[in-house]
Structure 1
Amino acid sequence: MTARSALRRYLLVCFLSWLPTGLMMTTMVLLMTERGLSLAEIGAAFTVFAVVTVSLELPTGGLADVVGRRVVLAVSAGFSVVSLTLMAVSTTFWMFVLTGVLKGVARALSSGPATAWYVDTLHDLEGRDADLRPGLSRGGAMESAALCLGVLAGGFVPLVVPPAVLLPLAAPPLLGAAAAAVLLAVVLLALPEPSHRRASLGETLRAVPATVLSSLRLATRHAVLRRLMVYAVVTGVALTAVELLTPGRLARLAGTAELGGTAYALVAALGFAGSSVGNAVAPGAARLAGGPVRGAALGVVLGALSLGALAATAEAGGPAALAAAGAAYVGMYVGLAVTSMLCLEMTHRAVTAAERTTVASTSSLALQAGGAMSNVGLGVLATAAGTGVAWVLVAVLMAASALLFARMPALRPGGVAAAEPEHAASA
């Protein structure tokens, strides 16, 4: 295998991993409502998914570091096929709860192994000094492109499905299951495992907890990783702020809930497109800024300014306000994607293959923790003081997080933090 063929396979896996999520996203709540679930029951099913995902993030990351990336990715794809097929035919609350459990297992298993496979493979081919940034950038762009296309397709496919053949709202998750089946075939046929010592069952059971504990210690004690984990928490707060408060804001601008839902689907697609652009331009941003740390800080600043723009237009009305809100939403996703990709590069340079996936799962857990902590608080604040106040608070928090990149310790090849700091980031 060459570096170019490894990149092609990685990009295909990135696209197929997130296409099912995009396909089911637009109609998921509507399908559950159509099948008779109340909003409280829908919220409970979502909570089950979140709890399962968070609970399994670190154990599944450790599993991937011990038994290999390919096996875990294949099992994740299999769980996705089953969960999305079950979603399409579910008719009761408990069937949707089971769907949430299976989706949570699939999400936790898929958190990190594909990127770890690519980094390990590139290190095998080109050594520890291999340039990770171009491949990781294009991988992030493919994930965002898959979400963008999936959201659009999932929103329009039900319009062309004959009700006599299939409940139209059930078509998107079935398409997602088909995409997950293709992913399973690609993983099994096209992803040879990078160099990795095979362990016995007993060794595996002993090694997973040890790997998780070792990775947690590394993430909390390593000077660079500790800052990146704090930034991941802030990112979770920012994403919650826009995903929780934007639909209602757009509904008020559009005039009705139905038009607001359509507007949000289009804005969400534009946001994912912006994320794809941000991932694609991240290497250039790092070069122009003078390094990944400065480039990451610039992405944070763009995200904070975009949140500030959302706050500034929170009370405005009319088409101009709708366009401004959409532009700010896209700008925020561009900024967050730039920073996310460069943080991903720094993370993989700070770790070895032994804990690569587990540390990535720790970062994902930190992001979800930020969202969980802010979910209720931001809703209460927006209800009491207004959406604009909530967005202002998050914009200030995001701007302050740029200081995490000031005087960031540099990483020498091999992942060891150097004694001398890199150039201070502008905040």
Structure 2
Amino acid sequence: MASRSRRHVAARGVAGDPGGPGRRRRHQERATGAPRSTVGRRRAEPGRAVRALRLFSPPGPGRRRAADGRAARGRRPVRRPHWFPRDRRASHGPSRGGVVSLRARFLTILALRWLATGLIIPVSLLLPLSRGLSVAEIGLVTAAQGVVVLVLEIPSGALSDSWGRRQVLIVSALVAVTAYVIAISAQDVLAFAASWAVMGVFRALDSGPLEAWFVDAERARGAADEVPRGLAHAGAVMGVAIAAGSLASGGLVFVADESDVALAVPYVAAMVVTLAQIVAALVLMDRVPSTDRPDQKGWARTLAEGVGLVSGPALRWFAIAMMFSGIGVSALEMCLPVRLDEFSADTAAAGVAMGPISAVAWAVGGAGSAEVARVLRHRPAASVATALVAMQAVALLGMALAGTPPLLVGAFWAAYAVHLGFGASFNSLVHDRVDDAHRATALSVTSMAFLGAGAAGGIGLGALSDAVSPSAALAAGALALTVTTCLVAVAGRQRSGATLIAPPDRP
């Protein structure tokens, strides 16, 4: 024991004496700034001044290769300063937008697209009312859009899957401008029907390309788990954009002099915003090479497969659920302006009121969708979608039972608080069950079911509103959303991760 203690003291040295080889070496290194020899030992770390110089100097290729080598060998990578160059394609998706992130570019284009829609939502039904159309005639007019969407939805989705997301999005924006021009000059049922039919072409072309481009790019960079939250954030941006457009629409109607001209001014503003969307799409959208390939034969093959999606087992319940959801949302959008018109003798005054009401509704919907983005981190999308559509059914029933304007508007806002979040969570369920080659086609199938049933429901709900009351039409819409709740619950139990269609072997 004593000999062991003597060896221990000799190795460490006594107090006040640098005895021991290890302690003498450390004293010498501190005094000179460098070790006597590095043979058999680790090289000394550089001093503080050298480390600071390295921190604020651009890294050379040697340091970059060393960092990449550490990561490849599974070792802990070095913390890089904020200016250290990263793999831009892996971090931000396609490179056309420079340092702007993929999600930011997607949300920018989405905001412009829905800002134009927000401008015309408050006046889209009041404009034909002010020019002499009845509620039943408006139902027939809006049905023209549903018929066109029913015919073109799947072909337009196949076109987006084969021709290119950006090209189809730009064409849809040009078609929207044409529809706005026709609506401004329309004076009778036939002209308004033509406007809504062209709007149906726009809705069919627009239903999938932008979202499919975002999902494809996220999956291409290995971030598929970010898709549900990205779509929920898209719902929030959509709500804010539509709220801003609705508020601006009400202001434009208020500033204009004559009632007939005032209700047409928001359409002109929507044309300007749509042209800005075209420019943004040209600048910010990139090709995703695996899906955006111009191929005429690919379009025909994708179209044939898309027809099979309608009756496919993986998409059947989703399409049926969207049909009943379209009926419920049709009641939500159609009956509120009519009920507000019941409380006011002036149609233009109802149009002014619809601007702030719609703005608040979409702002509340955006806030609700942002909250859904946080909920989706801890809850599955199927349960979230089921709960949200059930809450929307209750809110629609509240609109049917409301006897005063404040209660009516409050129930309307409650319905929109969950509207956008439901759409985001529902679409994420569809994306989990489809491959990249048929993504836009799958979105077109659900959109076709939604808009087609909504148009047919608009005819029936308009006739029910004229024959009985708008409250009866709202109650029917609440019943349709109750059926949607049950169907979404059934569809959500299906196994995710399976593709809807296995693409055929290429010759």
What CA distance in whole angstroms lies between the structure 1 residues aligned with 2:316 and 2:203? 24
Change (3 A) 1:380 1:90: closer
Residue in 2 that maps onto 1:424: none
Residue in 1 that maps onto 2:305: 214
Deviation by residue 1:7-65 (Cα, 9 ceiling, x = unmatched): 0110011111122222233345666677x675598776644444333322111111000
What is the RMSD computed on CA atoms of the aligned residues? Answer: 3.2
Residue in 1 that maps onto 2:272: 178
Deviation at 1:246, TM superposition (A): 2.1
* Counterpart amino acid of residue 148 in structure 1: A
TM-score of the pair, normalised by structure 2? 0.70
Change (3 A) 1:188 1:172: same
Aligned residues: 402
Secondary structure in 1 matching 2:416: helix
Of residues 493, 499, 503, the one that matches 1:409 is 493
Deviation at 1:134, TM superposition (A): 1.6
Counterpart contact for 2:368–2:418, Cα < 8 Å? yes
Change (3 A) 1:268 1:159: closer
Residue in 1 that maps onto 2:481: 398
Counterpart contact for 2:139–2:462, Cα < 8 Å? no
Counterpart contact for 2:126–2:351, Cα < 8 Å? no
* Counterpart amino acid of residue 390 in structure 2: V
Secondary structure in 2 matching 1:142: helix
Change (3 A) 1:392 1:285: farther
Do structure 1's residue 303 and structure 2's residue 392 form an aligned pair?
A: yes
Counterpart contact for 2:166–2:286, Cα < 8 Å? yes
Residue in 1 that maps onto 2:380: 291
Residue in 1 that maps onto 2:79: none
Deviation by residue 1:176-209 (Cα, 9 ceiling, x = unmatched): 1111111111111110111236766xx51x4334
Do structure 1's residue 19 and structure 2's residue 115 form an aligned pair?
A: yes
- Name the % identity: 26
Deviation at 1:169, TM superposition (A): 4.5
Counterpart contact for 2:291–2:436, Cα < 8 Å? no
Secondary structure in 1 matching 2:316: helix
Of residues 384, 402, 422, the one that matches 1:339 is 422
Change (3 A) 1:414 1:170: same
Counterpart contact for 2:139–2:458, Cα < 8 Å? no
Counterpart contact for 1:301–1:335, Cα < 8 Å? no
Residue in 2 that maps onto 1:273: 363
What CA distance in whole angstroms lies between the structure 2 residues aligned with 1:266 and 1:197? 41
Residue in 1 that maps onto 2:235: 140
What CA distance in whole angstroms lies between the structure 1 residues aligned with 2:463 and 2:174? 39
Deviation at 1:253, TM superposition (A): 3.5
Deviation at 1:260, TM superposition (A): 3.6
What CA distance in whole angstroms lies between the structure 1 residues aligned with 2:401 and 2:128? 35
What CA distance in whole angstroms lies between the structure 2 residues aligned with 1:162 and 1:393? 38
**The 10-residue stretch of structure 1 (37-46 or 358-367) with the greater mean CA deviation from structure 2:** 37-46
Of residues 216, 238, 251, the one that matches 2:328 is 238
Change (3 A) 1:141 1:47: same
Counterpart contact for 1:248–1:260, Cα < 8 Å? no
Of residues 105, 117, 122, the one that matches 1:9 is 105
Deviation by residue 1:296-335 (Cα, 9 ceiling, x = unmatched): 111022112112222332xx2xxxx222111111111222
**The 10-residue stretch of structure 1 (78-87 or 278-287) with the greater mean CA deviation from structure 2:** 78-87
Change (3 A) 1:391 1:43: closer
Residue in 1 that maps onto 2:15: none
Do structure 1's residue 153 and structure 2's residue 248 form an aligned pair?
A: yes
Do structure 1's residue 121 and structure 2's residue 220 form an aligned pair?
A: no
Of residues 451, 461, 465, the one that matches 1:368 is 451
Deviation at 1:254, TM superposition (A): 4.4
Counterpart contact for 2:142–2:455, Cα < 8 Å? no
Deviation at 1:159, TM superposition (A): 3.8
What CA distance in whole angstroms lies between the structure 2 residues aligned with 1:11 and 1:102? 26
Deviation at 1:292, TM superposition (A): 1.1
**Residue pairs, 1:247-262, within 5 angstroms:** 247-254=337-344, 257-262=347-352
Secondary structure in 2 matching 1:194: coil
Counterpart contact for 2:112–2:277, Cα < 8 Å? yes
Change (3 A) 1:244 1:30: closer
Counterpart contact for 2:146–2:456, Cα < 8 Å? no
What CA distance in whole angstroms lies between the structure 2 residues aligned with 1:325 and 1:91? 31
Deviation at 1:262, TM superposition (A): 3.5
Do structure 1's residue 323 and structure 2's residue 323 form an aligned pair?
A: no
Change (3 A) 1:416 1:174: closer
Deviation at 1:391, TM superposition (A): 3.2
Counterpart contact for 2:142–2:458, Cα < 8 Å? no
Counterpart contact for 1:233–1:369, Cα < 8 Å? yes
What CA distance in whole angstroms lies between the structure 2 residues aligned with 1:89 and 1:391? 31
Counterpart contact for 1:234–1:370, Cα < 8 Å? yes
What CA distance in whole angstroms lies between the structure 1 residues aligned with 2:264 and 2:390? 41
Counterpart contact for 2:389–2:418, Cα < 8 Å? yes
Change (3 A) 1:26 1:387: closer
Secondary structure in 2 matching 1:221: coil
Structure 2: stretches of 5+ with no match in the other structure: 1-88, 94-99, 502-507
Deviation by residue 1:333-378 (Cα, 9 ceiling, x = unmatched): 2223222211111111111111111111111111112213322333
Counterpart contact for 1:216–1:359, Cα < 8 Å? no
* Counterpart amino acid of residue 239 in structure 2: S
Counterpart contact for 1:37–1:93, Cα < 8 Å? no
Secondary structure in 2 matching 1:26: helix
* Counterpart amino acid of residue 213 in structure 1: A
TM-score of the pair, normalised by structure 1? 0.82
Of residues 144, 147, 150, the one that matches 1:51 is 147
Do structure 1's residue 71 and structure 2's residue 154 form an aligned pair?
A: no
